[in-house]
Chain A
């Protein structure tokens, strides 16, 4: 990959005008430098306005309404589903289940597919770099059913140990569940290749795409994902809605998730029959406006171009690693720019990650400090916490400069 050194192709100045919050001054003369998009992204006007328009002109509950407004709301909600399906290369909209977020998507797979298909002694392969949301559900299942969990180790430079992965596959795991991109190290894992090997070993593959889907072109068939989970709010969309992609033939055979309205075909006092996918997995009134907002976010992202976004972020991370290496006593974790996205987690000799984040905040630089919901990964590096700067399409090299200046200030204060 040579994209890291490529000239950015985005007109970031114009893009930034679409994000009202980015114009905010955190105190007089100090403009916000938002470097926490890995936690949640900012929202463009197109998304804010799409949701506003829905509430002002089209709001009604979806499905089964025979009046015009309900038909409009249903059509908009289902168009959002089709938009998501096209965005990730799903075969049909029915393979898209709207959830609350990535966490709920993974829990849905655990509660339905895994409950029905896994038994005591069955193996699930995870990795050491997973977010808690792709560890804890499986620990819960292990406690309930006695399934076994094995973890692919992470190397010092932040890459998955592929030799160990292949060894683990010899034990014929039923499920391989792994993150496409680490929310701490930024590592982009070779999931297409790993899926192929996992399938050859007879495993079902779940990809946590929370950090990849917002930042690069993701195609479920090219990746070989049987399940793909991601969140709207990390990709310029609203909070409150997430996605689970599932292969149709798997969804057909899965038991329902939550019980209630919409997921049923027929209910009698002592029994019910389930609806077809995806409705079978969407009990209760969904996040209608949020799904419509997500579709607007996808329109926005595709108009910018996923490849251009990825190239822009690779430029920013390469520049960041370069600039941070100038600051004494700083260690940034994770692999070389070619193998990572726009995430830089670091520690400083001089100060604790929380102190670093606080001093950066005084300069309007918003970063996150802590374990970033990846305590096992931090433990692997002997750390309790890191400070994390993360980028999106609206960030600039000038903002990286402001980050580095603020980081240098930490050294001055603690000198």
Chain B
């Protein structure tokens, strides 16, 4: 459990690389974690080639949800939407490098839920529940 707050997570929480808003943007979506009321928004800009050229997240949340949002938005730069579609729960957990209880899993997956809902509509999101 102590592993949860390894340096990498604390670093991404305290010094996020991708925090902010993009205006204008091609994709933007906001949602919350009903369990704790934390809100997260993700903005995405696409390049001429249809790949993600810029991404940013904003909102408030715990270290797990914020670090996961930072890592996720960082990881999608240069990816095609098809590739973004392919990102799953395991990819997030691999990026975070930790194991999570079911309650905290919701924190970690909030960013993916928001990203997918923004990009592809809500039907995709149900697969994550």
Q: Are B2 and A355 in contact (CB under 8 A)?
A: no
Q: Which residues of chain B are near A359, meaning CB under 8 Å?
A: 5
Query: A355 to B64, Cβ gap below 8 A?
Result: yes
Does A276 reach chain B (CB closer than 8 Å)? no
The 8 A CB mask of A315-353 against B (1 = contact, 0 = none) is 000000000000000000000000000000000000111
Instruction: Kindly state whether residue A148 has any CB partner on chain B within 8 Å.
Output: no
B62/A355 in contact, CB under 8 A: yes
* CB-defined contacts of B104 to chain A, threshold 8 Å: 354, 358
Among B2, B4, B10, B63, which residue has its beta carbon within 8 angstroms of that of A352?
B63
For A351, A353, A355, A371, the residue with the greatest tally of chain B CB atoms inside 10 Å of its CB is A355
Question: Do the beta carbons of B5 and A352 come within 8 Å of each other?
Answer: no
User: Chain A residue with minimal CB distance to B60?
Assistant: A384
For the complex, what is the distance from the CA of A391 to the CA of B58, rounded to whole Å? 37
Q: Are A352 and B62 in contact (CB under 8 A)?
A: yes
Contact residues in B for A352 (Cβ distance below 8 Å): 38, 61-63
B36 at the interface (CB under 8 A from A): yes
Q: How far is the CA of A375 from the CA of B36 in the complex (A)?
A: 10
Contact B37 A385 (CB under 8 A): yes
Beta-carbon contact of A351 and B36 below 8 Å: no
Our pick among B1, B37, B62, B64 for the contact of A361 (Cβ within 8 Å) is B1
B16 nearest CB across to chain A (Å): 14
Chain A nearest CB from B68 CB (Å) reads 13
- Of residues 1 to 44 in B, which have CB atoms within 8 Å of A's CB atoms? 1-2, 4-5, 10, 13-14, 35-38
Chain B min CB distance to A364 (Å): 10
- Report the minimum CB–CB distance from A377 to chain B (whole Å): 13
Q: 0/1 per residue, A190-225, Cβ < 8 Å to B? A: 000000000000000000000000000000000000
Flag whether A362 is at the interface (Cβ < 8 A): yes
Roughly how many angstroms separate A353 CA and B63 CA in the complex, as a whole number?
A: 10
Instruction: From the candidates B4, B10, B107, name the one contacting A414 in the complex (CB within 8 A).
Output: B10
B32 vs chain A, min Cβ distance (A): 9
- Minimal beta-carbon separation of B117 from chain A (angstroms): 21
Please, which residues of chain B bring their CB within 8 A of the CB of A353?
36, 62
- 368-393 of chain A: CB within 8 A of chain B: 369-371, 375, 384-385
B38-A413 in contact (CB<8A) = no
**Which residue of A has the minimal Cβ distance to B103?**
A354
Q: How far is the CA of A351 from the CA of B1 in the complex (A)?
A: 16
Of chain A, the residue at the smallest CB distance from B13 is A414
Q: Which residues on A sit within 8 Å (CB–CB) of B64?
A: 354-355
Chain A hits for B37, CB < 8 A: 371, 375, 384-385
A370-B35 in contact given A362-B1, A362-B2, A413-B5 (Cβ < 8 Å)? yes
From A358, A359, A362, residue with most partner B Cβ within 10 Å? A358
Tell me the chain B residues, 70-116 only, with Cβ under 8 Å from chain A.
104, 107
Tell me which residues across on chain A come within 8 A of B13, comparing CB atoms: 414
Whole-angstrom distance between the Cβ of B11 and the nearest chain A Cβ: 11
Contact across chains for A414 and B14 when beta carbons are under 8 A apart: yes
Residue of A nearest to B14 (CB): A414
Given contacts A352-B61, A352-B63, contact A370 B1 (CB under 8 A): no
Note all chain B residues with C-beta closer than 8 A to A354.
36, 62, 64, 104, 107
Contacts of B2 in A (CB 8 A): 362
Contact A355 B63 (CB under 8 A): yes
Interface residues of A in 397-414 (CB under 8 A from B): 413-414
Give the docked Cα–Cα distance between A384 and B2 (Å): 25
Assembly CA distance A361 to B63 (angstroms): 16
Cross-chain contact A358 with B36 (CB below 8 angstroms): no
A359 to B104, CA, bound (A): 12
Q: With CB as the reference atom, state the residue of chain B lying closest to A352.
A: B62
Instruction: Give, as a whole number of angstroms, the nearest-CB distance from A200 to chain B.
Output: 40
Which residue of chain B has its CB nearest to the CB of A379?
A: B37
Give Cα distance in the complex from A351 to B37, angstroms: 16
B63 to chain A, nearest CB (A): 5
CA distance A149 to B55 in the complex (A): 45
Complex Cα gap A239–B10 (Å): 39
- The CA of A355 and the CA of B9, in the complex, are separated in Å by 12
Determine the distance from Cα of A361 to Cα of B1 in the docked complex, in whole angstroms: 8
Chain A proximity of B118: nearest CB distance (Å): 22
Q: Which residues of A contact B107 (CB under 8 A)?
A: 354
Contact A358 B61 (CB under 8 A): no
Could you pull out 28 A-B pairs where Cβ atoms are within 8 angstroms? A351-B62, A352-B38, A352-B61, A352-B62, A353-B36, A353-B62, A354-B36, A354-B62, A354-B64, A354-B107, A355-B5, A355-B62, A355-B63, A355-B64, A358-B1, A358-B4, A358-B104, A359-B5, A362-B2, A370-B36, A371-B36, A375-B37, A384-B37, A413-B5, A413-B10, A414-B5, A414-B14, A414-B63
User: What are the 4 closest A-B residue pairs judged by CB atoms, nearest first?
Assistant: A352-B62, A362-B1, A384-B37, A354-B62
